[in-house]
Amino acid sequence: MEDIKQRLNKTAFDLALDKRKISQLELANKIGANDKSFSRWVNDGYIYSKYLWDLTETLDLDDQELDEILMLPKHKVFFRKKYLEEPPQEVKQQAIELSKTLFSLTYLNSKSHFFPPNLSKVTSAKEVADQIRKTCNISSFNFLKPIVHTLSTQGIEVAIIPFKKLRLVSPDEYETAFSVTNEQRFLIFLDSSAPEELLVFNLCHELCHLFRPDHNYSREEETFCNTVADELIYPQSYFDLRQDDIKKIIDSKSQESMLNLLNNLKYELGGGQFSSAIRLKKLGYFSQKDPLHKKIIDLAEANYKSMPNVETSTFNKFNPENLNSFNEFWDSSDIYNNILLRFFFHIKNGAINNSITARKFAELFGVDIGAAEEMFNKWASTALASLKAP
């Protein structure tokens, strides 16, 4: 199994040793490292990942000290919520811990070549949307899997995860997505308890945040990013080119024709009937005061509410409270084959390569440390057997 080098800030490391009155030699002996090799690693500015947990425990490092020693940048978190309030600190901290775990996977750093332009001062949602399309090399934001794949090739990891099962929801609120940046890497997390069309919208919303890093969390910025997401999925230019045809269908007062219009929009632009209807309303084609228009919107909304969410189809076995089911999820081949499970693939790969400890896994997913260690040992044995297989 691969042992990964982790960058180390020697100045911060020496300060931590001095503060605890312990020498490099003593520390090397305590964590089971060869003292001469350990001294060479530190002087060269790195340490091997398999020693990180013992080092952290031996020195009793707090999060700030560890971040400084490992040269981990500060994290900036944007939450998308049903109600625009600041998330509780424990939810925000869990989001950061999930992100730091992925940021620590060194092999992902080689893919990180995404440097978005800073559009914080741009006031036109269309201009921001156009720049996102150009930078991300995505012309159509319609279906989730190809978007996730294209972004991953540029170093933007998109993680679809069950927020409630991972303690990412507030008691009286509902977080639906969040993005995290450490100014070098970019992560977007989407709650799986929603239909795919909403996940696409939330993904577009979070992309807007990554291109506007100077803005803090605010109602105004959330509204602006919603507008950008609308423009990414349903470009106004598309409607402008078909303005006469759309008006003709709506003026016909035919319920069947209007529903067919929504289906055509879904087919050509992605999303769904409801999001298409809302976009038509925002652009002035539909009016909430018109009884027929309201009926069309209500029918589209009813259709949306009947759609299965991603969690039902993808995370039905992800249950940390049921270890048999939990193990079945992690042992499933879907983790390797389904791009929507990239986050879990990276976690398992990190565990096999000693980049993630069983204790960290247990903390993140809320399972017993003993159960986590058993899972890690099983994965390591399976990986070793596959290497030896003819």
Residue 83: per-residue pLDDT? 40
Residue 282: per-residue pLDDT? 93
Tokens 């565990």 appear where?
351
Q: Residue 42: what residue type?
A: V
Contact at 8 Å (CB) between 188 and 179?
yes
- Terminal Cα-to-Cα distance of the chain (whole angstroms): 18
Kindly state the average pLDDT of the residues 152-170.
88
Q: Of how many residues is the chain composed?
A: 390
Kindly state the average pLDDT of the residues 118-141.
93
Average pLDDT, the chain: 86
Q: pLDDT, tens digit, for every residue of 303-321?
A: 998 988 999 989 999 999 9
Task: Tokens for 370, please give them.
Answer: 């003993």
Residue 298: per-residue pLDDT? 95
Residue 136: pLDDT band by 50, 70, 90 thresholds?
Answer: very high
Q: How many helices (H) and strands (E) does the chain have?
A: 22, 6
Tokens 């605890």 appear where?
20
Contact at 8 Å (CB) between 273 and 263?
yes
**What is the rounded CA–CA span in Å between residue 341 and residue 276?**
28
Residue 72: per-residue pLDDT? 61
Residue 167: pLDDT band by 50, 70, 90 thresholds?
Answer: confident
- The domain segmentation of the chain, as residue ranges, is 5-69, 76-233, 236-305, 316-388
**What is the rounded CA–CA span in Å between residue 366 and residue 372?**
10
DSSP state of 286: S
Contact at 8 Å (CB) between 36 and 387?
no
CA distances from 341 to 87, 111, 179, 192, 369 (A): 25, 18, 17, 11, 23
Which DSSP string do the residues of 168-180 spell out, in sequence order?
-S-TT--EEEEEE
Kindly state the average pLDDT of the residues 58-78.
72
Classify 265 as helix, strand or coil.
helix
Report the 10 Å Cβ neighbour count for 383: 15
Burial of 256 (0-12, 13-18, 19+ CB in 10 A): exposed
Q: pLDDT, tens digit, for every residue of 350-390?
A: 898 888 889 999 999 999 999 999 999 999 888 754 434 33
Q: pLDDT, tens digit, for every residue of 264-300?
A: 998 899 888 999 999 999 999 999 899 999 999 999 9
Rg of the chain on CA atoms, in Å: 24
Q: pLDDT, tens digit, for every residue of 21-45?
A: 999 999 999 999 998 999 999 888 8
* CATH architecture of the region 5-69: Orthogonal Bundle (1.10)
Q: Residue 390: what residue type?
A: P
Q: pLDDT, tens digit, for every residue of 73-116?
A: 555 555 554 444 566 778 878 888 888 888 777 566 555 567 78
